[in-house]
Structure 1
């Protein structure tokens, strides 16, 4: 992967227009790419809610440290890999979409995600404001040397699918999940094929997750960059959460789209010691992350775009919400 020598600072860029034609199931609503990503996403710089050994940077801090910008015609989100023994955690980036969504089709074309490395916990996900009661959809998530993603939902009580109780308690709040058996979905396997496309179709009756690796399996309507998409032509999803055990509309509300890379914390930190490779490297996850900055040179995201599509019914519902809240 060839990087530009200097990552440009964040600034005002051209907006991407949304097409108005509606010939397929979903029509483009919002597009975030190298022309406007940092206008549509905001930086989260509070303490990590998952107790990671990380310091999330503000927009200014991330830009000054070249942890966020553009490279290879894509959006770059990285981790500090030069500072030894940083106090309080390693500098990283977490961004949230400014807009919130209540259903639709979210499509993300990603060229690179953080490589498999002891101590890391990267994720691409959506989440509501009152966790877990407004829901969470984990699309890309893995820790340490994991080789494939796990698609997981988190909710308050009363939401169950065939994958289990989405309010399942336990260390780190287990939720309900479906592990992918495809090593191209995460980290090194994903990067080896040049990345790929994830899509989440979120309706009142199901939450379906699709994955299409770059090696020739991306549907024609996505690859063509059109403003209309029809998931019914894509074949079966990688994971489908459906059935009568959950009222999706009441458990998944007002989601922001999130990218982040944290270190250690509730999941990666716990699994670090249990991993025979990672556990042999240091007495604790925090100790390893602090002492080995160069290990995280490949802990970055390259995002070609994130697009959100909607159907006619969802547009009406969103307009009604705006009227009621006015």
Structure 2
């Protein structure tokens, strides 16, 4: 199955309320309003664009228009999805994500394939589940592990986080590298995520219109949550895919997180600031999202608006993004010394 080209948006539902899930300063809009406001489009290269409003000057108390979409299809254990992006949103106050979730979160779990805030340089990947799922004996290239317990009830629902050490996995460097592929394997023996910049895409994936491939040919994933600590069939159910770009909120707007890469006040200086062009880089450019393996389940009721979904309904993040990497560095030093 594939989402791409002129029909990219045909099988997605638009969440058309303000961001009441992460207390963000974004007003998510309907499909007609998103088209009218230039927040979604298909460009001349037939790539899908999803962006934040970068033209309106707002008054204090207003929220900036943005987009959150949910696939009408759900994908079962045994699926692999490949997201091919040329550009991802970045900049002060932005909090974009490409993720998946079951309809009755936290039951059924959540997989965050791509997530960043403000001007950080690294993508982070996270699972959120009910109690009982942990990352144990992972086989992955990243050493930057913040938390191994995926329980949404712990640490303000930060989940079990692995960050990509590749500084071109997010933001400006990602765009300069020509984008790349984020690959998520949703399998009985574990959940794995790979990232490849444009220049490092494996030959098995570089062929146009491939109908099948073996994830064993991709090498060791950057992040891995094996079933040794988390029974996938118990903690995860068929997943809807989502894109969203919110602003400030529980994570990007948290003062300790915001100050790491941005000056000033998240809301006053950016969301309602005098220069809406600050959001010129706050957009996804998507070549395609392709799903292999188990066939889709057509969703009769996509994610219910009153449900809070993981990273999208965080309380306070108690660890900063820098802590993610310090945790990894500490682990490396411990190994060297002992």
> Structure 1, residues 241-276: CA drift from partner, whole Å, max 9, x if none?
104221111211121111111000111111466515
1:297 counterpart (280, 296, 305): 280
Matches within 5 A, 1:1-326: 30-48=1-19, 49-71=21-43, 72-86=45-59, 87-103=61-77, 104-115=79-90, 117-162=91-136, 164-167=148-151, 169-170=153-154, 172-215=156-199, 217-225=200-208, 226-271=210-255, 275=259, 278=262, 280-282=263-265, 284-291=266-273, 292-310=275-293, 314=294
Paired residues of 2:95 and 2:117 also in contact (CA < 8 A): yes
Match of 1:23 in 2: none
CA shift, 1:46, in A, is 2.5
CA shift, 1:168, in A, is 5.0
CA shift, 1:290, in A, is 1.2
> C-alpha distance in 1, partners of 2:260/2:121?
15
> Structure 1, residues 198-250: CA drift from partner, whole Å, max 9, x if none?
110111111010111002x1122211031111111111111111042211112
Paired residues of 2:6 and 2:42 also in contact (CA < 8 A): no
Paired residues of 1:161 and 1:241 also in contact (CA < 8 A): yes
Structure 1 runs, 4 residues or longer, greater than 6 Å off: none
SS in structure 2 at match of 1:38: helix
Q: Given the two structures, how large is their TM-score scaled by the length of structure 1?
A: 0.82
Match of 1:12 in 2: none
Q: Which runs of 5+ in 1 are unaligned?
A: 1-29, 320-326
- Greater shift, 32-41 or 120-129, is seen at 32-41
- Quickly say closer, same or farther: Cα 1:318–1:285, change in 2 above 3 A: closer
How many residues of Structure 1 are paired with residues of Structure 2 in the alignment?
283
> C-alpha distance in 1, partners of 2:193/2:224?
6
Output the aligned Cα RMSD. 2.1
> Structure 1, residues 53-78: CA drift from partner, whole Å, max 9, x if none?
00001000000011101113200101
Q: Which runs of 5+ in 2 are unaligned?
A: 137-146, 299-338
Paired residues of 1:53 and 1:286 also in contact (CA < 8 A): no
CA shift, 1:40, in A, is 1.6
- Quickly say closer, same or farther: Cα 1:301–1:172, change in 2 above 3 A: farther
> Structure 1, residues 150-169: CA drift from partner, whole Å, max 9, x if none?
11000011111135110154
SS in structure 2 at match of 1:200: strand
> C-alpha distance in 2, partners of 1:206/1:248?
6
SS in structure 1 at match of 2:278: helix
Paired residues of 1:139 and 1:152 also in contact (CA < 8 A): yes
